[in-house]
Amino acid sequence: MATTPAPAQDRSAVRTLLRLWPYVRPVRARLFGAALVAIVASCVGLVIPLALKWMVDGPIAGRDPAGVWLGALFLLLLGFTEALLFGLRRWLVARPLSHVEASMRAALYGHLQRLPVAFHDRWASGQLLSRGTTDLMLLRMFLAFPLTFLLVNGVTILVGVIIMLHQDWTLGLVILGPAVPVMVTCVIFERRYARLARRAQDQVGDLTTVVEESVLGIRIIKGFGRHRSQERAFRDLSKTLRGTELRKARLLATIWGVIVTLPEVAIGAALVVGVVQVADGVLSAGTLVAFLSTALALRWPVESIGFLLAMSQEAATATERYFEVMDAEVEGAGGTPAAAATPGPGTGSAPDADSGSAPGTGSGSGTGSAQGPGSGSTPGLGSASGPGTRSAPGSGNGSRSRSGSAPDCDEGFAPAFGSGSGSPSGTGPRPGSATVQEKGLRFHDVRFRYPDAPSDSLPVLQHIDLHIRPGESMALVGATGSGKTTLTALIPRLYELTSGRITLDGADITGLSREALRAKVAVAFEEPTLFSASVGDNVLMGAKDTAGHADLERALAVAQAGFVHSLPQGTDTPVGEQGLSLSGGQRQRLALARAVVAQPEFLVLDDPLSALDVHTEAAVEAALRQVLADTTALIVAHRPSTVLLADRVALLSGGRIAAVGTHHELLRTNAEYAYLMSGEEEGAR
């Protein structure tokens, strides 16, 4: 399970909450206005005891009914004004705060999209979901309530205490007696509550993860009859969360008890002292009434401090959790076009070449201009121009021309790669363009270790030197877990290299802007992920915004995905969440269509035909051959039928390229390869 970073110890809640300022800034006028209105409303409430004093010492003592009616009317007016002002405050904050919540949520979502895959590998999805939902709701509630009322209540208490001291300072001191113990309790409470709030909010994230996994994996759970154990896991987590929530409630109850009891005792004591003073004739009855009314009016502002502090702590925790994600470094947009155009030692081989770019700073400086000259001929998907009529793979001389077998081979395995007959246009060196050796897709001494792997563990890939020539397709074969998927993920920079370089037509991929890189390279993964959108939208996701119906149809034809036309709404049919309304093979064909729709220069396919029946596979292969004729491709393959799509095969073993050659050469010369292919070899022949 992914983890979340350990919570910061003893952080300052105020400092943490201040980080919200950039989001609150645009609505500051409304917020301050609302706070001012609330302060006025509270102070209006404090005038009521003074009006009472006037009534008791005046019209009531003088038995003046008209005065009493006048006083009552005045009290009614004050009460009405107070209610109206509090209503106005609510109206002032409601809309801007929902705007703050929405903009924070949008910023979080945008940031999540830009974070590297390594980040998503580390973080449980439930933890991210809970940050985007529960935590942001807590923040909105904090801005709407505690933020204003901690200020409003503070001012109200201050004004109330001044009024009370002014009425009778001895009674005032009696009332102020519990202030110090209440404050000490609040400080202790705050620290403990902060720890519990953090724990509870993390546990909500864990619970969300379990729910999400269970919903997504419902078929497996049902298929294996695991619903009871899932329920148990869920129940255990909810029990833990309930325990934390109960501890929070107990803590809140304790502080509430202290905050309510001590002032009540003080009011009781003030009442006794006051009555004695009135009896002694030192204090007027009206003053005592006013004093006690003021003290009672302050009860709510004092009592609410407990839960306002609790809500503030929860908001501070939510802020902390929110910024744990927002502070994570996003993928840089890439290097400069210059760097891209001039490959060479040191150009961007550092794995963190793009790190450090703060959100929003990645200005995508690189553009398509980074492409090597001569590489721009976009292959027509269905055109099958030139040597598309490749002879049966495995013949050792793939009819597709190659630019010589020279030093593009790896680590000394250089079986004679066929007799590359003829030379394809666009592969020869031109003045100022990348040399023959540089053209195509090239791995230069690539080493890779997953960012979260222990530093003393062996890298998944090391000393990878591989050259896929322009227009060539290479199959990547290796045992399960040998690192094939990892290798393919490095080309579109889903992960940064630990060391070494990958170049496309001589341009270091770290020097290309992400946009330019992803425009050149298209990928289809083994797990075909679809989104809850229409079939057409899912496929066109791989194309430029300008792509239209013709591109869609061409890509569907290549992927043999004609089945979409028999769906109820054709290409407009929604595929449902994760495309689960389609079969695995159908999903895989749509993912393949998405990869080829943009007619990419470089195609990376991770075992793209694994879920297809033999007939569909043969049809897709026939169509794919046309695409591959003009595309430089790396195809992860487990089966000879897929391997046969490629001109050459690279065998990945022990994290290294162990051999490169044609299918038949490797079958003859490499025991491991022969073993890997043996399962289906007979059938293929």
Q: Build a one-symbol-per-residue string for 148-167: x at contacts with ligand ATP by CB under 6 A, - elsewhere.
A: --------------------
Q: Is the distance from CB of 237 to CB of 207 less than 8 angstroms? A: yes
| CA–CA distance, 263 with 258 (Å, rounded to integer) | 8
Tokens of 211: 């729910």
Q: Does 121 bind ligand ATP (CB under 6 A)?
A: yes
Stretch that binds ligand ATP, among 71-79, 153-161, 478-486, 549-557 (CB under 6 A): 478-486
CA–CA dist 641, 237 (Å, integer): 47
> Which one among 459, 478, 608, 640 touches ligand ATP, defined by CB under 6 A?
478
For residue 610, state whether it binds ligand ATP (rule: CB under 6 A): no
- Candidate residues 336, 485, 499, 581; the one interacting with ligand ATP per rule CB under 6 A: 485
Q: C-alpha angle 168/170/174, rounded to 5°?
A: 115
Question: Please, what is the minimum distance in Å from the beta carbon of residue 354 to ligand ATP?
Answer: 19
Of 300 and 450, the one with the shorter C-beta distance to ligand ATP is: 450
DSSP run (H or E) holding 602: strand 602-606
According to CB under 6 A, which one of 113, 480, 546, 566 is a site residue for ligand ATP? Answer: 480
Instruction: Return the amino acid letter for 256.
Output: W
For ligand ATP, which stretch binds (CB under 6 A), given 29-37, 473-481, 547-555, 574-582?
473-481
- Among positions 486-505, residues that touch ligand ATP (CB under 6 A) are 486
Q: Is 453 in the site for ligand ATP (CB under 6 A)?
A: yes
Q: What is the pairing mode between strands 632-636 and 648-653?
A: unpaired
With contacts defined by CB under 6 A, how many residues of the chain interact with ligand ATP? 13
Q: Which stretch binds ligand ATP (CB under 6 A): 61-69, 84-92, 177-185, 481-489?
A: 481-489
Q: How far is the CB of 476 from ligand ATP (least distance, A)?
A: 9
Q: Which of 431, 481, 548, 568 binds ligand ATP (CB under 6 A)?
A: 481
**Residue 654 binds to ligand ATP (criterion: CB under 6 A):** no
The b/e string for 519-555 (b: 16+ C-beta within 10 A; e otherwise) is bbbbbbbbebebeeebbbbbbbebbeeebeeebbbbb
Give the shortest CB-614-to-ligand ATP separation in angstroms: 20
Residue among 231, 327, 445, 452 that touches ligand ATP (CB under 6 A) = 452
Comparison of 420 and 640: residue with beta carbon closer to ligand ATP: 640
> Please, what is the minimum distance in Å from the beta carbon of residue 482 to ligand ATP?
4
Angstrom distance (rounded) from CA 376 to CA 507:
13
Going 484 to 486 to 488 to 490, the CA torsion angle's sign is: negative
Of 400 and 656, nearer to ligand ATP (C-beta) is 656
For position 586 contacting ligand ATP by CB under 6 A, the verdict is no
Our CA angle for 146, 301, 49, nearest 5°, is 145
Specify the 3-state DSSP secondary structure of 465: strand
Out of 244, 287, 401, 482, which residue is the one contacting ligand ATP (CB under 6 A)? 482
CB of 649 to ligand ATP, least distance (A): 14
Q: Which is nearer to ligand ATP, 78 or 117 (CB)?
A: 117
Residue 322: φ, ψ to 5°: -60, -45
- Tokens 């590998």 correspond to what residue? 121
Q: Which residues pair with 499 in a beta bridge?
A: 447
Which CB atom, from 383 or from 485, has the smaller least distance to ligand ATP? 485
- Backbone angle region of 2, left / alpha / beta, with phi > 0 → left and psi within -120 to 50 → alpha: beta
Minimum Å gap between C-beta 213 and ligand ATP is: 17
What angle (nearest 5°) sits at the alpha carbon of residue 498, between those of residues 496 and 502? 65
Exposure pattern of 159-190 as b/e (b: 16+ CB <10 Å)? Answer: bbbebbbebbeebbebbbebeeebeebbeebb
Q: Is 578 left (phi over 0), alpha (psi -120 to 50) or beta?
A: left
Amino acid letter at 528? P
Question: What is the secondary structure of 348-411 as a DSSP string?
Answer: S-STTTTTTPPTTT------GGGSPTT---PPPTTT--STTSPPPTTSSS-SS--S-SSTTSBT
Whether residue 655 contacts residue 621, with contact meaning beta carbons closer than 8 Å, is answered with no
Among the listed ranges 175-183, 415-423, 450-458, 597-605, the one in contact with ligand ATP (CB under 6 A) is: 450-458
Is residue 484 within the footprint of ligand ATP (CB under 6 A)?
yes
Q: 533: which DSSP letter?
A: S
CB atoms within 10 A of CB 91: 12
* CA dist list (Å): 124 to 105, 129, 203, 204: 18, 9, 12, 12
Report in angstroms how near the CB of residue 331 gets to ligand ATP at its nearest. Answer: 16
- Looking at the Cβ atoms of 247 and 463, the one nearer to ligand ATP is 463
Q: How far is the CB of 123 from ligand ATP (least distance, A)?
A: 12
Nearer to ligand ATP, 214 or 653 (CB): 653
Give the binding range for ligand ATP (CB under 6 A) out of 133-141, 228-236, 482-490, 531-539. 482-490
Least distance to ligand ATP, CB of residue 489, Å = 8
Q: Is 71 in contact with 55 (CB distance < 8 Å)?
A: yes
**Scanning residues 412 to 431, which ones bind ligand ATP (CB under 6 A)?**
none
Q: Name which position in 384, 460, 543, 666 contacts ligand ATP (CB under 6 A).
A: 460
Q: Which stretch binds ligand ATP (CB under 6 A): 132-140, 146-154, 276-284, 448-456?
A: 448-456
**Binder among 450, 531, 574, 681 for ligand ATP (CB under 6 A):** 450
Nearer to ligand ATP, 259 or 592 (CB): 592
Q: Is 462 an interacting residue with respect to ligand ATP (CB under 6 A)?
A: no
Nearest residue (CB) to ligand ATP, 54 versus 450: 450
Report the C-alpha gap between 572 and 669 in whole angstroms.
50
Minimum gap (Å) between residue 529 Cβ and ligand ATP: 15
| Closer of 413 and 450 to ligand ATP (Cβ) | 450
Residue closer to ligand ATP by CB (options 581, 641) is: 641
Using CA atoms, how far apart are residues 137 and 585, in angstroms rounded to an integer?
41
Interface region with ligand ATP, contact rule CB under 6 A, candidates 131-139, 364-372, 374-382, 446-454: 446-454
What is the binding site for ligand ATP (CB under 6 A)?
121, 450, 452-453, 460, 478, 480-486
